[in-house]
Amino acid sequence: MYRFSLWSSIATAAKRAASASLFVSSSHRRCLHSIPFATIVVEEISASHAAEVHNLVQGSWKSSTEWNTIVDPLNGEPFIKVAEVSEAHIKPFVESLSKCPKYGLHNPLRAQERYLLYGDISAKAAQMLSQTEVSDFFARLIQRVSPKSYKQALAEVQVTQKFLENFSGDQVRFLARSFAVPGNHLGQQSNGFRWPYGAVAIITPFNFPLEIPVLQLMGALYMGNKPVLKVDSKVCIVMEQMIRLLHECGLPKDDMDFINTDGLTMNKLLLEAKPQMTLFTGSSRVAEKLAGDLRGRVKLEDAGFDWKILGPDVQEVDYVAWVCDQDAYACSGQKCSSQSILFMHENWASSSLVPKMKELASRRKLEDLTIGPVLTVTTAQMMKHIEKLLEIPGSKVLFGGQPLENHSIPDIYGAMKPTAVFIPIEEMLKDENFHLVTTEIFGPLQVVSEYKQDQLVLVLNACERMNAHLTAAVVSNEPLFLQEVLGRSVNGTTYAGIRARTTGAPQNHWFGPAGDPRGAGIGTPEAIKFVWSCHREIIYDIGPVPHLWEVPPST
């Protein structure tokens, strides 16, 4: 009964927040059945009406003799069956990738009409995602498998729609823009081209089941590659439905493969198929293993222990507190860009910032999924980490620090109140504490610290010692302070100014890490060209040979 009362509460909240609700009328339900690509009705997915997810290989959707059962993250009931590909059955996927030549399915000198094709596909897909019933379908499907508030889920759909809109029409061919440099003599010219890799692989995580795989998949396809896509099995149903939408919009079915399998089998597939490039978004541990196994033929957008520094100029306290709450706890902290650590200047520490953050955190509740299941860290693991932090001298819980109550979230997942733990800056920098304090917990947990006017160097030293440099925020309008911090840090996506944040990247700027030559970007033309193509130089030298030329002496 709790399961149904919970979704009823969510529906009521969503109606207040958006025009669509999580439960729909019978007429809307008939409309859902009429969505041309959909093979499911979101509200009907349950233990008694399990949805199925299939694989796509060599242009055909395939079932399997082996099924992986996914449980509902809100009540533990089995509600999705995923057709799993075992090691013994990866041959069709290996063969599919092997059919793609290294020069790709199209390139600047071959099958150029496919650039136009993908501009049309993007336009049609963007138009379809802009329809209320379609965007609502995906937002609610995201909520079912990666619970987050309706507004957060819908934002993911909207970013994806805007991305596709951005690369409509001629914008795909503009990605392959080349250049020419005059040569040394008549008939010689050097040309630089953006060239595809050919067969590639994409591996994406659970936390953004639509946005991340769509943006990387389409980037790969735009540049002429043939990708095999693997999405975390817990959320793969979202991308399966999106691929069916893309097919409806004209995507050739044999341009890509979609595989559902475990990590070991995917690793074996990569070793046998030998894709020219693999994009991996996920944990640093897996990223490093892949980098070794694939001999460096990878682009990585791995974990980030993301920092925020509040400068000396205290202003707009309500706004800054709200952004801190969003950065740390939206999607239950399950963003690679989530605010992991907050460095407060002493002026902010003496303001009302922390009490306001505590008040905002207390508004979050399971009923509207503003706090919800943590899918990669259990409650016990989070509690143990907090206990270790509290062993550090001077540490204390600012708020939270307790499990969620009155829920049916299964024990395999986490259920934690939004939590902030204070650690003194001097203690944090000690060798015996630093690794513990800067360990990313992919859940609603952040570290807070304070620095004095003359201790900024300690904060910058802490940032320098961190290993993952994804996002960061410098919250200040003081130009010299901004210059000092920005000039002595490296995070790839850094927001600066009083409205600075660490999360909520739209489709209009680069999102990705810095400081690592393997780092992958997402979202922009520069990101697509950087990740999904390489530079090829063709030097035309057609003559003529000079009149009366003779063979010169050997050199």
A 10 A CB-CB count for 469 gives 23
Q: Which of 84, 156, 240, 301 is catalytic?
A: 301
- Separation of alpha carbons 82 and 50, rounded Å: 10
Q: Is 301 a catalytic residue?
A: yes
Q: Which of 324, 331, 336, 463 is catalytic?
A: 336
Q: Phi, psi at residue 438, to the nearest 5°? A: -100, 20
Q: What is the DSSP string of 355-385?
A: HHHHHHHHT--GGGTSS--BSSS-HHHHHHH
- Separation of alpha carbons 259 and 92, rounded Å: 11
- Separation of alpha carbons 448 and 239, rounded Å: 36
- Separation of alpha carbons 542 and 545, rounded Å: 9
pTM for the whole structure: 0.93
Tokens of 108: 């600047």
Contact 399, 420 (CB under 8 A): yes
Q: Phi, psi at residue 504, to the nearest 5°? A: 80, 30
Nearest to 67 by CA among 48, 87, 82: 82
- What is the pLDDT tens value at each position of the chain, 555 positions in all? 344 445 545 544 443 443 333 334 444 444 445 799 999 999 999 999 999 999 999 999 999 989 999 999 999 999 999 999 999 999 999 999 999 999 999 999 999 999 999 999 999 999 999 999 999 999 999 999 999 999 999 999 999 999 999 999 999 999 999 999 999 999 999 999 999 999 999 999 999 999 999 999 999 999 999 999 999 999 999 999 999 999 999 999 999 999 999 999 999 999 999 999 999 998 888 999 999 999 999 999 877 799 999 999 999 999 999 999 999 999 999 999 999 999 999 999 999 999 999 999 999 999 999 999 999 999 999 999 999 999 999 999 999 999 999 999 999 999 999 999 999 999 999 999 999 999 999 999 999 999 999 999 999 999 999 988 999 999 999 999 999 999 999 999 999 999 999 998 888 999 999 999 999 999 999 999 999 999 999 999 999 999 999 999 999
Q: Which residues pair with 474 in a beta bridge?
A: 309, 496
CA–CA–CA angle 422, 426, 432 (5° rounding) = 90
Terminal-to-terminal C-alpha distance of the chain: 88
Contact 440, 304 (CB under 8 A): yes
Tokens of 327: 């950065």
- Separation of alpha carbons 264 and 86, rounded Å: 9
DSSP 253: G
Spell 491-520 as b/e; 16+ CB within 10 A means b: bbbbbbebebbbbbbebeebbbbbebebbb
Cα torsion through 62, 66, 71, 76, rounded to 10? 160
The domains found in the chain, sorted by start residue, are 88-302+525-534 (3.40.605.10), 306-496 (3.40.309.10)
Tokens of 323: 């952004």
